[in-house]
Amino acid sequence: MNIIILLLVTIFSYLSFLYGRSRIRKITSTQSIKINALPNYYGYYLALWCALPALIILLFWSIFEPAIIKYLISQTLIQNDLNYSSDQLNLLYQKIRSLYEGNFSGTLTEEIKIGVKNYENLQTIAQNSKIVLLLSTFIAAISYGIFRISKNNKARHDVEKILTGLLFVCSLVAILTTMGIIFSLLFESLKFFSAINIFDFLFGMNWSPQRAFVSDASAITALEYENLKGAFGSVPLFAGTAFIALIAMLVAVPIGLFSGIYMAEYASSKVRKYSKPIIEILAGIPTVVYGFFAALTVGPFFRELGEKLNLEVSSESALAAGLVMGVMIIPYVSSLSDDVINAVPQSLRDGSYAIGATKSETIKNVVIPAALPGIVGSVLLAVSRAIGETMIVVMAAGLAANLTINPLESTTTITTQIVMLLIGDQEFDSPKTQSAFALGLTLFFATLILNYIALRFVKKYREKYE
């Protein structure tokens, strides 16, 4: 339906473009009015009047229609039975929708059947009123536009103003996305924190969300709460995430840093030309590929190695996941530190050589200290990538939340748990689902803070030498 409307809007806009252009030509040829814009601009002007109001209405209609229909349906349901809680209403509404869309499964009640009839009625009403509204706006807008054309000698000015406005709206998408992220995370997290105390979540030592059977998070009893309190302690997840990230950094920082130094200071241009793109392949490989590699090759390899050495190694060991993640991060560290080291002024090196230092002594005592803020910044950016990395840990790290510092045991991470909580069908409004959003919020803020600090470091460093 919307696609047909969009198509019609496009066609009509084009027609009104042609009409506007020919009309202004006619006006200027018959009456001796002086206009300040090319005829094309009058065409654009009319086309914008034709398309914009219709598109704006269509957008808002599509955004609000589902919510309004849901509200109306819920009202009729409440009239029949006043005892529904909001969750039951939600569930009923879902059932009605799925029956309407023809993928209903479960027992059909009288209520749902009536609901579907209502839903159908409302859909038709909505459809019809949408068309009426669009048509009337369209007629009003286009006649206003035509009326304005003959009196307007600044069509270009108006068109350009609208265009700049549109560009501005497009740049607002970034803000809208951030707001969308924060609201969607915050909204569900607040529901979660109304059921589970935020301190129990942040400082609890035990994570076992499968224990959470409670369906209604808002009306939780004291007894249920006691049961739940122990289920959502996320310290093991934070510890696991930090631990795997640490292993990854232990791999990535030395290798990345040393290759960055070698590229910047020692390598001939030929070596640079070939080895840099090869190392950057590592950054271009999708993370799911690393995950597959870690789960299928590296994990079993460590387990067999452990068996030979009489060590008990889990096939989902933190070591395997961390190692592979470290390999993934190498190019981020190496190319960033390469850039930072290159930015250190040559005069500092020359000064060091002049007092007799060897190349490595210069690097260790002059170049690296000078580039340190930038290097720290790049390492922090790499850490933020490591804690937000999902597929490697989902496929190669464990699912059970163990609080351990043994790299041979399995641990789990924030991202793994988010995926595990949300994979497959989940009921909204259960603490289990909401806890994933709370974890997401934690992750979002953790990476935000890390990135902020990292960028501050890099910026400060740049200012120093520019």
Partner 1 sequence: MNKEQRLKKRHNAEKRFKLYGLTSILLAIFFVIFLLNAIFSKGSGAFLKTTIDVEVNFDADTLELSESPPLEDLENTDYYELAIDSILKVKKVNGLTEEKLLINLFSPDYEYEIRNFLLDNPKALNQTTVLKLTASDDFDQLHKGNYPRELPEERRRINNFQLNLYDELVNEGKVNKIFNSYLFTKGDSRNPELAGIGGALVGSFFTIVITLLLSFPIAIAASVYLEEFAPKNKITDFIEININNLAAVPSIVFGLLGLGILLGTFHLPRSTPLVAGITLALMTLPRIIIPCRASLKAVPPSIREGALAIGASKVQSVTHHVLPLAIPGTLSGTIIGLAQALGETAPLILIGMVAFVVDIPSIPTDPSASLPVQVYLWSEQAERGFVEKTSATIMVLLSFLITLNFIAVYLRQKFERKW
Nearer to partner 1, 215 or 406 (CB): 215
Q: How far is the CB of 258 from partner 1 (least distance, A)?
A: 4
The least distance separating partner 1 from the CB of residue 84, rounded to whole angstroms, comes to 20
- Among residues 51 and 142, whose Cβ is nearest to partner 1? 51
> What is the C-alpha separation between 298 and 300, in angstroms, rounded?
6
Return the number of the residue (50 or 391) whose C-beta is nearest partner 1: 391
Shortest distance, position 93 Cβ to partner 1, whole Å: 10
- Between CA 214 and CA 202 the distance in angstroms is 20
The partner residues of 232 in beta bridges, in order of sequence, read 207
Q: Is 212 left (phi over 0), alpha (psi -120 to 50) or beta?
A: beta
Helix (H) or strand (E) holding 351: helix 346-354
Provide the minimum distance between the beta carbon of 361 and partner 1 in the complex, in angstroms, as a whole number.
7
- Given the complex with partner 1, which of 94 and 197 has the nearer CB atom? 94
Residue (120 or 312) nearer to partner 1, CB: 120
Distance CA 8, CA 6 (A): 5
**Residue 59: which of 4, 99, 6 has the closest Cα?**
6
Q: Closest approach of Cβ 364 to partner 1, in Å?
A: 8
The answer to whether 367 and 408 have CB atoms below 8 angstroms apart is no
**Residue 135 vs 448, nearer CB to partner 1:** 448
Q: How far apart are CA 302 and CA 398, in angstroms?
A: 15
Q: Residue 48 in contact with residue 17, Cβ under 8 Å? A: no
Name which of 22 and 184 has its Cβ closer to partner 1: 184
CB of 108 to partner 1, least distance (A): 21
CA angle 66, 71, 73 (to 5 degrees): 95
Minimum CB–partner distance for residue 1 and partner 1 (Å):
12
Q: How far is CA 341 from CA 56, 262, 283, in A?
A: 50, 10, 20
